[in-house]
Structure 1
Amino acid sequence: MMIESISAITLGTHDMQRAVQFYRSLGFNMLYGGEMSSFTSFRAGSGYLNLIVQPDQRRWSWWGRVIFYVTDVNAFYDRALAAGCRPATVPRDAEWGERYFHITDPDGHELSFARPLRSSA
């Protein structure tokens, strides 16, 4: 048996209203929940990005990065800037064959928006 795909990722938040506004500003389509909910789900391609409220005493540190493929990295970067976000990097081509940039959400979760580079072969 093989693992076929990731269905969803769930990220903790201390402020659902702020988190929902952030993800909506980037163009994520909300399917369930909302700013006053304790659980919210967004469409992310064929999968889902979920948010769940966590108590103030629960803290996390750097845990990794979620990578989302987008149709146009530069256009998505411009959208993030227009939404008032401050990406950690500018779009660039990586040696592993992707164009990408990183951004951190209001709860400290690192996100990467990427697209495979076309092969020159």
Structure 2
Amino acid sequence: MKFDVHCWRMTPTIEKISAVTFRVVNMKASVQFYRNVLGMELLYGGEGASFSSLRANDSESAILNLEQGDSVSRWGRLIFHVADVDVFWTHLKEKGFDPEGPRDASWGERYFHVLDPDGHELSFARPLQ
């Protein structure tokens, strides 16, 4: 009996997004923004490093890497889910940022956008109930 090994192969699938990397001009300002303003945990590097990694409070969350170099903006956006969009919007306003006002989207999320120190667009969202 001949056994065909190829018939048992599984289709390759992506399991999860491990990390996203942003190029940043000012590592100190970027680390301070993501750590101190957004409350992310610094996993590696820091204000004086050329490469840093941060993560949201959820240990299953993808890692955000910051790499020293020429910044590239208008590439797309990074979307964070937050517990309460309006509370997070108020938090950023109190920290001196001027994000657009929160709004409800036709696809079922409440969200707003703000730019990080290098002009990367960030979205803060929560599914509507």
Q: Same fold (TM over 0.5)?
A: yes
Tell me how far 1:75 sits from its aligned partner: 1.2
Task: Tell me which amino acid in the other structure corresponds to 2:96.
Answer: G
Q: Give the secondary-structure state (helix, strand or coil) at the position aligned to 2:31.
A: helix
Q: Is structure 2 residue 3 aligned with structure 1 residue 3?
A: no
Deviations 1:51-84 (A, max 9, x none): 0100xxx353410011111111111111111221
2:67 to 48, 52, 64: 52
Task: Tell me which amino acid in the other structure corresponds to 1:105.
Answer: D
The aligned runs of 1:56-67 (5 Å cut-off) are 58-67=70-79
Task: Tell me which amino acid in the other structure corresponds to 2:86.
Answer: N
Match of 1:110 in 2: 121
Whether contact under 8 Å (2:19, 2:63) holds in the other structure is: yes
Runs (4+) off by over 2 Å: 58-61
Whether contact under 8 Å (2:25, 2:71) holds in the other structure is: no
Whether contact under 8 Å (1:80, 1:86) holds in the other structure is: yes
Whether contact under 8 Å (2:23, 2:71) holds in the other structure is: no
Whether contact under 8 Å (1:26, 1:79) holds in the other structure is: no
1:92 to 103, 107, 114: 103
Greater Rg by CA: 2
Q: Is structure 2 residue 95 aligned with structure 1 residue 83?
A: yes
Tell me how far 1:109 sits from its aligned partner: 0.4
Instruction: Show structure 1 runs of 5+ residues with no match.
Output: none
Relative to the length of structure 2, the TM-score reads 0.82
Whether contact under 8 Å (2:24, 2:71) holds in the other structure is: no
For this pair of structures, how many residues does the alignment match? 114
Whether contact under 8 Å (1:26, 1:83) holds in the other structure is: no
